[in-house]
Amino acid sequence: MSDNRKRIMIVDDENINLAILSQILSPEYDLVTAMNGQDALKRAEENQPDLILLDIVMPDINGFDVLRKLKSSDAAKDIPVIIITGRNNADDEEKAFLLGAVDYMTKPFNNTIVMTRVKTHLQMAGQTQAIARLNLEDALTGLPNRHRFDMHIEREWKRAIREKKPLSLLIVDIDRFKAYNDAYGNIQGDELLKAVATVFPKSARRPADLSARISGEEFAVVLPDTVWESALLIAENIRKTIKSTILPTVDGMTQTSVTVSIGLVTKTPRANDKISDFFNWADGSVYEAKRAGRDRIIGKVL
């Protein structure tokens, strides 16, 4: 994608309809076309259009079946589909909505209606994506949030059971964060959280690793297929890097840095083990580390 133009796929078996819709939409959008159901399914997955206009009556697979297949395809299920048809029929319209279409337009096409509906549905899809992103991301640091962490660790826990592999978890808590906030103010506290957050993805960067902000000053790192010794190295790297991160205060007068306490557990889980026990062990180890004087890693192989 060279610029921000949205991509629309038009699926219709008749050239004249493709030509009319292309003429209406091409000034504002990049277009992909398909003249039968097979091609439509293939191109939807390959080209990832932002919206699909889909004819019902086609010779190979009819539009309803194409719609059904699109909605069961992981790669295409979130693409909004507007049904376009020559049949002005309430049953068809109802069926289209039940199968997951977002709208229904009848031929002959009116330029303004086509443009307006396309624009509206593109906007709505954009908002839905933004909300989905917000629901998985911590707004301050940009790291995955607690919700995404919960989903990820659940998935990796199950995978570890299936594959009989060790799963490691770090819980990282900033030491004396409240005192820091009181001394330098909330804005500086936020700066500190942002600076600390950048350390995790650099230290745990395999594709299945996940670093998240799970509450105020608490972070977590999920390390799939990682034995205790390797997880400890990563934890130690995180502890040292954060300790050596020097941050100027907002007024530029003072340099500050902080330390973290880390709870670390490793387990090769079995089917009856509980993920909550695993998490609680790591969480409890953080408090042990705090009690033992902070700026350290405590944990065990379960």
Report, as residue numbers or ranges, the catalytic residues: 217
Please report how close the Cβ of residue 104 comes to Mg ion at its closest, in angstroms. 15
Please report how close the Cβ of residue 14 comes to Mg ion at its closest, in angstroms. 5
Q: Looking at beta carbons only, is 54 or 171 nearer to Mg ion?
A: 54
Cα 255 from chain centroid?
35
Count of residues binding Mg ion (CB under 5 A)?
Answer: 3
Quick one: which of 18, 32, 50, 55 contacts Mg ion (CB under 5 A)? 55
Please report how close the Cβ of residue 117 comes to Mg ion at its closest, in angstroms. 19
Tell me the window of 48-56, 119-127, 146-154, 282-290 that interacts with Mg ion (CB under 5 A).
48-56
Please report how close the Cβ of residue 58 comes to Mg ion at its closest, in angstroms. 5
C-alpha–C-alpha distance, residues 242 and 129, integer Å: 33
Asked if residue 92 binds Mg ion (CB under 5 A), the reply is no
Asked if residue 65 binds Mg ion (CB under 5 A), the reply is no
Long-range contacts of 245-253 (CB under 8 A, 24+ apart): 245/195, 245/196, 245/199, 247/188, 247/191, 247/192, 247/195, 249/184, 249/188, 250/184, 250/185, 250/187, 250/188, 250/191
Asked if residue 57 binds Mg ion (CB under 5 A), the reply is yes
Near Mg ion in 12-31, by CB under 5 A: 13
Asked if residue 105 binds Mg ion (CB under 5 A), the reply is no
Q: Look-up: residue for tokens 């078996």? A: 13
Q: Looking at beta carbons only, is 55 or 217 nearer to Mg ion?
A: 55
141 contacts: CB under 8 Å, gap ≥ 6: 193, 194, 197, 213
By CB neighbour count within 10 A (0-12 exposed, 13-18 middle, 19+ buried), where does 8 fall? buried
Residues at the contact surface with Mg ion, assessed by CB under 5 A: 13, 55, 57
